[in-house]
C-alpha cells in the first residue's frame, strides 16, 4: 500500500493534456484545456493536474526540485471549468465513485517533459569484417596449436585483427592495435606470444622467469585473459600462466610467483605491488609487455602505475629506469645488428622488450600512454587496414568509432519520471518471452546497482506484502473491476512474479569472492539480468548476451562503444538500448558524428508489454479499450513506491542510490556537460524514478543550488571535473575503489592527480565534439508520449518490427565457454 499523502487541496488548477496529433506546422506543441483520461475520477470528481510547465526555466531551483509529483484530487464540492471539457479520448465513465481512501495517484504521466524529435544524420558506419579469409588451419603456427584452436576452442577462421597483427607482432615491433569489440584481440596478441615461447629449446623452465606481462584494467578481465592463456597453452604444459589481482590473498600469489610463471596477467596496482615487494618476481627476461584496454588504463588514472611498472622492468632488464634504447628485439626486422636465433633468445636477458597496446577505441590519450614505452610503433587498425596490409590512418582512428555490424542499436528518450517503470517494462518485455535471455544493464553508481537489483528482483520477482488496504489509484480502476479490497487473509500472499528471471549484480564494492562468483555464474547461465557499473564495460567476454541496456548514459562516445560491445561478439547478433532523458538527446548527435548508427524507439511500445503482464493480477486491464498501458505502468510504479515505503532498508537503498546519482550527474566531465547538464535535471522527477516520494531536498539534504555551488567549489581540484566532495561511488568510482583497496602506499598517493574523469576523457573533449552536437538537433518537440499513439506518431520511423526482432531466436555461434 502506498502511503502517498493525500492532497485534497482545492487549488483551482488548469488541466492539460498533450494533443494527439502534430500541429499544422508539424510541431508537437502541447495544447491545453483538455482533460487527461487520468484526470477523470468519477462522479463529480476529478483528479486535476497542475498547469503544465516546461521545466527548463524553473522559477527557482529549490522550488522546482521539490515539486512533488502527485496529482491533486479535488474535494467533491469543488468543480472547475475543466470538467466541462469532454475528453473523447477516454472511454472511462464520467461518473465513478471515489473510495474514501483513494487519493493522489502516482502522477506518472503528468507534467512530463516533451520528447524532442531528432533529425538524424545519414550515417555510414565504419565497416570492419570480423573474419578474414584465412583459415586457422593455414596459420604458420605449431600443428598442436592449430588443433587446439580448432578442436578445443571451436575456431575455424582467423579474425581480421588476428590476421593483421600476427605478422606485425611476430616482427618484434612495438604495436598499437585497434579493432572492434569482440573481434578476438586477446588471441591476436596471445597467439604470437605462445607460438614464440613454445619454440624455445631447451623448453622453458618455471625458473626462467616471466616472459610476458599483460596489464588489464579489471580483475574480471585479468581472470578471463588468464583463462584464455590456459586454454591456448593446453598442448604446451611447460609454459605456465598466472594472474595477480587486487582482492586476492597476496601470500598465495607470492607462493605462485615463487614456483615460477612465464605469462603474468594482472591489474596494474597489484602487479606494481608485487614488482615492488616480491623478491621472487624476476622480470629481467620479459619480452612482451601487453597493455590491453590501453585508453581505459589511462582513464582510470593508472598512467603513473603503468609508468612505474615500465621503469621497474627497465631497471631489472637494463639496470636503467629509462630503458636500453639501443638494444633490440631479436625478432625486430629493422634491427641493425645480426639477429640472434630463438635459441640464443632463451638465454638472453637484455633483449629489447616489445610493447603491444590494444583497444577498440584508440585515442590521443593512448598516444600519451604509448609515449611511456613505445618506440616507432606499428599501427594495426582492423577497420582501415586493407587486405594488402596498408597502415591505418591515425586521424580516422581518432575520429570514427567502429561498432560490430551485427549489433543493432536503439535509443529511447523518456521523461525522467518514467525511467524506472520503463526499465522494468523493458526487462519484462525482453525476458518474459523466453527463458533464454541475457541482459546487461549499466548504471552510473554502485549504489544505483545495489538499489535496482534489490528493487527489481523483489518487485518484478514477487509482489511485496499486501497491507490490506485499498490501492491508491483504486478510483481509477473500480469500474473495470480492478478495485480490490484486500482482506487480512491476503496479507502474506504474493502475486505471481512478473518475470521469471534471475537478477545479478556486479560492481567494485563487492568482495573479490562475490565478484568472481557472480562473473562465473552469470557467464555460464542461460538467462539472467546483470546490473553493473562500468566495471563490466571493458573486455568482458560474456557469452550469449542478447541486450545491453544503458540506464545512465556514459560520459563519452567511446565508453558507449565498450558497453555495447559486451554483445554482438565475433559476428553473433546482439542489441543495445540506451535510455536518455529528453535533455540528453544531443548525445545521439555525438554518436552519429562519430559514425554510430542508432535508431529511435518509442516509449509507448515498450510500456505496452506491461499490460498482459500486469493483467495477471489486474485482469480488468485487458478489458480496457484505452488507457490500459498507462494504468499498467501506474500500477507497477505504485508497486515500486509501495515497496520503498514499506521496507526501510529498501528506502535507505533508494535514498543512497538517488543521492549517488545526483552526485554522479553533477560530476560529469566538463566536456560532457553540454549534454549532461545538471541544471536541466528535475530532481523531483528523478526522485520518482527511484520510487521515492520524499522531496529531493529531504533525500539528499541538499537542494539543487547547493549541489551546483558545491560542484563549482570543487571544480578544478585534482582533475575531478568538479565532482562534489565525498563523491559517488560511480562507475569511475569502481576503479577508484579498487585502487583504494590496494594495501600499499608509495606511488599511490600521487596517482589521483592523473585520475578521475576530468583527465580521462580527452578523446571526446577534442575539437569537433562540441560542434558535433549541433549537427543533429532536436528540431522540434512533441508532447509527452501518452496521448500520442504509436500509429499516429512515429511508428513507421521507429521500425518497430526491427526493434522487436530482438525476440527472434538468436543465431549463436558455438563457442567454448
Ligand X SMILES: Nc1ncnc2c1ncn2[C@@H]1O[C@H](COP(=O)(O)OP(=O)(O)OP(=O)(O)O)[C@@H](O)[C@H]1O
Binding site for ligand X (CB under 6 A): 155, 157-159, 162, 179, 181-187, 360, 539, 541, 565, 569-570, 815
- C-alpha cell read off for 184: 578476438
Strand partners, 291: 215, 357
- Is the CB of 181 or the CB of 458 nearer to ligand X? 181
**Nearest approach, Cβ of residue 507 and ligand X (Å):** 19
Strand partners, 505: 531
The rounded distance, in Å, linking the Cα atoms of 62 and 221 is 44
Under a CB-based contact definition with an 8 Å cutoff, are residues 387 and 592 in contact? Answer: no
**Nearest approach, Cβ of residue 434 and ligand X (Å):** 22
- Is the CB of 103 or the CB of 184 nearer to ligand X? 184
- Provide CB contacts within 8 A for 698, sequence distance 6+: none
Under a CB-based contact definition with an 8 Å cutoff, are residues 382 and 179 in contact? Answer: yes
- Is the CB of 66 or the CB of 181 nearer to ligand X? 181
**Nearest approach, Cβ of residue 508 and ligand X (Å):** 18
**Nearest approach, Cβ of residue 355 and ligand X (Å):** 17
Give Cα separations from 72 to 10, 14, 105, 612, 743 (angstroms): 8, 11, 8, 29, 55
| Residue 616: how many other CB atoms lie within 10 Å | 13
Under a CB-based contact definition with an 8 Å cutoff, are residues 787 and 49 in contact? Answer: no
Closest C-alpha to 158, from 378, 377, 397, 387 = 387
Strand order in the sheet with 241-244: 241-244, 263-266, 212-215, 288-292, 354-359, 175-178, 378-381
If you write DSSP's letter for every residue of 518-534 in order, what string do you get? HHHHHHH-SSEEEEE-G
**Per-residue DSSP letter, 189:** H
**Nearest approach, Cβ of residue 565 and ligand X (Å):** 5
The rounded distance, in Å, linking the Cα atoms of 446 and 532 is 8
| Phi, psi for 292 (deg, rounded to 5) | -85, 150
- Is the CB of 346 or the CB of 401 nearer to ligand X? 401
**Nearest approach, Cβ of residue 183 and ligand X (Å):** 4
- Is the CB of 169 or the CB of 636 nearer to ligand X? 169
- Provide CB contacts within 8 A for 766, sequence distance 6+: 364, 398
- Is the CB of 499 or the CB of 570 nearer to ligand X? 570
Give Cα separations from 745 to 280, 281, 512, 751 (angstroms): 21, 19, 21, 11
**Per-residue DSSP letter, 106:** B
**Nearest approach, Cβ of residue 512 and ligand X (Å):** 21
- Is the CB of 186 or the CB of 629 nearer to ligand X? 186
Under a CB-based contact definition with an 8 Å cutoff, are residues 104 and 4 in contact? Answer: yes
**Nearest approach, Cβ of residue 378 and ligand X (Å):** 18
- Is the CB of 173 or the CB of 185 nearer to ligand X? 185
**Nearest approach, Cβ of residue 548 and ligand X (Å):** 12
**Per-residue DSSP letter, 354:** E
**Nearest approach, Cβ of residue 539 and ligand X (Å):** 4
Beta strand 354-359 with 528-532: parallel, antiparallel or unpaired? unpaired
| Phi, psi for 719 (deg, rounded to 5) | 65, 20
746 sits in the region (left: phi over 0; alpha: psi -120 to 50; else beta) called left
- Is the CB of 179 or the CB of 689 nearer to ligand X? 179
**Nearest approach, Cβ of residue 29 and ligand X (Å):** 44
**Nearest approach, Cβ of residue 795 and ligand X (Å):** 34
The three-point CA angle 344-145-291 to 5° equals 70
Under a CB-based contact definition with an 8 Å cutoff, are residues 106 and 490 in contact? Answer: no
- Is the CB of 376 or the CB of 814 nearer to ligand X? 814
- Is the CB of 212 or the CB of 615 nearer to ligand X? 212
Tell me the residue nearest to ligand X as measured from the CB.
184
Under a CB-based contact definition with an 8 Å cutoff, are residues 370 and 377 in contact? Answer: yes
- Is the CB of 135 or the CB of 364 nearer to ligand X? 135
**Nearest approach, Cβ of residue 1 and ligand X (Å):** 46
The rounded distance, in Å, linking the Cα atoms of 284 and 605 is 61
- Is the CB of 169 or the CB of 691 nearer to ligand X? 169
The rounded distance, in Å, linking the Cα atoms of 602 and 610 is 14
Amino acid at each position: 500500500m502506498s502511503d502517498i499523502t493525500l492532497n485534497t487541496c482545492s487549488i483551482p488548477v488548469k488541466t492539460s493534456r498533450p494533443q494527439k496529433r502534430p500541429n499544422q506546422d508539424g510541431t508537437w506543441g502541447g495544447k491545453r484545456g483538455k482533460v487527461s483520461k487520468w484526470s477523470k475520477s468519477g462522479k463529480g470528481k476529478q483528479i486535476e493536474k497542475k498547469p503544465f510547465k516546461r521545466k527548463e526555466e524553473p522559477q527557482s531551483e529549490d522550488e522546482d526540485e521539490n515539486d512533488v509529483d502527485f496529482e491533486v484530487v479535488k474535494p467533491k464540492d469543488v468543480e472547475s471549468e475543466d470538467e466541462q471539457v469532454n475528453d473523447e479520448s477516454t472511454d472511462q465513465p464520467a461518473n465513478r465513485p471515489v473510495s474514501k481512501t483513494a487519493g493522489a495517484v502516482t502522477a506518472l504521466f503528468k507534467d512530463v517533459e516533451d520528447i524532442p524529435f531528432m533529425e538524424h544524420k545519414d550515417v555510414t558506419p565504419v565497416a570492419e569484417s570480423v573474419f578474414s579469409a584465412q583459415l586457422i588451419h593455414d596459420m604458420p603456427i605449431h600443428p598442436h596449436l592449430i588443433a587446439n584452436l580448432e578442436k578445443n576452442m571451436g575456431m575455424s577462421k582467423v579474425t581480421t585483427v588476428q590476421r593483421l597483427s600476427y605478422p606485425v607482432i611476430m616482427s618484434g615491433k612495438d604495436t598499437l592495435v585497434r579493432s572492434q569489440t569482440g573481434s578476438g584481440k586477446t588471441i591476436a596478441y596471445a597467439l604470437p606470444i605462445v607460438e614464440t615461447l613454445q619454440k624455445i629449446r631447451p623448453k622453458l623452465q618455471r625458473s626462467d622467469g616471466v616472459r610476458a606481462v599483460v596489464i588489464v584494467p579489471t580483475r574480471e578481465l585479468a581472470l578471463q585473459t588468464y583463462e584464455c592463456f590456459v586454454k591456448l597453452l593446453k598442448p604446451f604444459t611447460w609454459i605456465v600462466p598466472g594472474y595477480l589481482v587486487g582482492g586476492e590473498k597476496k601470500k598465495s600469489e607470492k607462493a605462485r610467483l615463487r614456483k615460477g610463471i612465464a605469462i603474468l596477467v594482472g591489474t596494474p596496482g597489484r602487479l606494481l605491488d608485487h614488482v615492488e615487494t616480491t623478491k621472487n618476481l624476476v622480470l629481467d627476461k620479459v619480452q612482451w609487455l601487453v597493455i590491453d584496454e590501453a585508453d581505459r588504463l589511462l582513464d582510470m588514472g593508472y598512467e603513473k602505475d603503468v609508468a612505474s611498472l615500465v621503469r621497474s622492468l627497465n631497471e631489472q632488464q637494463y639496470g636503467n629506469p629509462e630503458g636500453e634504447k639501443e638494444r633490440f628485439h631479436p625478432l625486430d626486422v629493422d634491427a641493425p645488428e645480426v639477429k640472434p636465433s630463438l635459441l640464443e633468445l632463451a638465454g638472453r636477458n637484455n633483449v629489447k622488450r616489445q610493447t603491444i597496446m590494444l583497444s577498440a577505441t584508440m585515442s590521443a590519450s593512448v598516444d600519451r600512454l604509448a609515449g611511456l614505452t613505445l618506440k616507432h610503433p606499428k599501427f594495426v587498425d582492423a577497420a582501415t587496414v586493407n587486405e594488402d596490409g596498408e597502415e591505418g590512418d591515425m586521424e580516422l582512428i581518432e575520429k570514427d568509432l567502429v561498432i560490430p555490424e551485427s549489433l543493432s542499436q536503439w535509443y529511447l528518450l523518456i521523461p525522467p519520471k518514467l525511467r524506472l517503470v520503463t526499465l522494468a517494462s523493458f526487462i519484462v518485455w525482453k525476458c518474459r518471452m523466453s527463458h533464454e535471455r541475457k541482459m546487461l544493464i549499466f548504471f552510473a553508481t554502485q549504489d544505483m546497482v545495489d538499489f535496482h537489483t534489490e528493487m527489481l528482483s523483489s518487485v518484478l520477482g514477487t509482489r511485496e506484502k499486501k497491507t490490506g488496504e485499498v490501492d491508491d489509484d483504486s478510483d481509477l480502476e473500480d469500474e473495470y473491476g480492478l478495485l480490490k479490497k484486500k482482506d487480512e487473509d491476503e496479507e502474506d500472499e504474493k502475486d505471481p512474479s512478473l518475470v521469471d528471471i534471475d537478477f545479478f549484480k556486479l560492481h567494485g564494492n563487492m568482495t573479490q569472492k562475490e565478484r568472481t562468483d557472480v562473473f562465473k555464474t552469470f557467464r555460464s547461465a542461460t538467462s539472467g539480468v546483470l546490473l553493473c557499473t562500468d566495471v563490466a564495460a571493458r573486455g568482458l567476454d560474456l557469452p550469449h548476451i542478447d541486450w545491453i541496456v544503458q540506464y545512465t548514459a556514459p560520459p563519452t562516445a567511446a565508453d558507449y562503444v565498450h558497453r555495447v560491445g559486451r554483445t554482438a561478439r565475433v559476428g553473433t547478433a546482439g542489441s543495445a538500448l540506451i535510455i536518455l532523458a529528453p535533455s540528453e538527446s544531443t548525445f545521439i548527435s555525438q554518436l552519429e558524428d562519430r559514425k554510430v548508427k542508432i535508431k529511435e524507439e518509442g516509449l509507448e511500445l515498450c510500456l505496452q508489454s506491461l499490460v498482459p503482464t500486469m493483467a495477471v493480477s489486474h485482469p480488468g486491464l485487458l478489458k480496457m479499450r484505452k488507457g490500459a498501458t498507462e494504468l499498467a505502468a501506474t500500477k507497477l510504479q505504485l508497486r515500486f513506491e509501495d515497496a520503498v515505503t514499506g521496507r526501510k532498508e529498501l528506502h535507505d537503498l533508494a535514498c543512497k542510490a538517488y543521492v549517488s546519482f545526483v552526485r554522479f550527474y553533477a560530476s560529469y566531465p566538463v566536456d560532457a556537460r553540454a549534454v549532461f547538464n545538471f541544471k536541466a535535471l528535475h530532481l523531483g522527477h528523478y526522485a520518482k524514478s527511484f520510487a521515492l516520494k520524499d522531496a529531493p531536498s529531504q533525500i539528499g539534504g541538499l537542494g539543487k543550488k547547493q549541489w551546483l555551488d558545491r560542484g563549482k567549489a570543487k571544480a578544478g581540484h585534482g582533475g575531478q571535473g568538479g565532482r562534489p566532495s565525498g563523491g559517488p561511488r560511480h562507475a569511475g568510482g569502481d576503479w577508484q575503489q579498487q585502487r583504494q583497496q590496494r594495501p600499499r602506499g608509495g606511488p599511490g598517493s600521487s596517482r589521483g592527480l592523473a585520475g578521475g574523469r576530468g583527465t580521462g576523457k580527452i578523446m571526446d573533449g577534442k575539437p569537433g565534439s562540441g560542434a558535433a552536437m549541433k549537427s543533429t538537433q532536436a528540431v522540434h518537440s512533441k508532447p509527452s508520449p501518452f496521448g500520442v499513439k504509436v500509429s499516429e506518431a512515429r511508428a513507421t520511423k521507429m521500425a518497430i518490427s526491427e526493434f522487436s526482432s530482438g525476440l527472434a531466436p538468436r543465431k549463436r555461434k558455438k563457442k567454448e565457454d
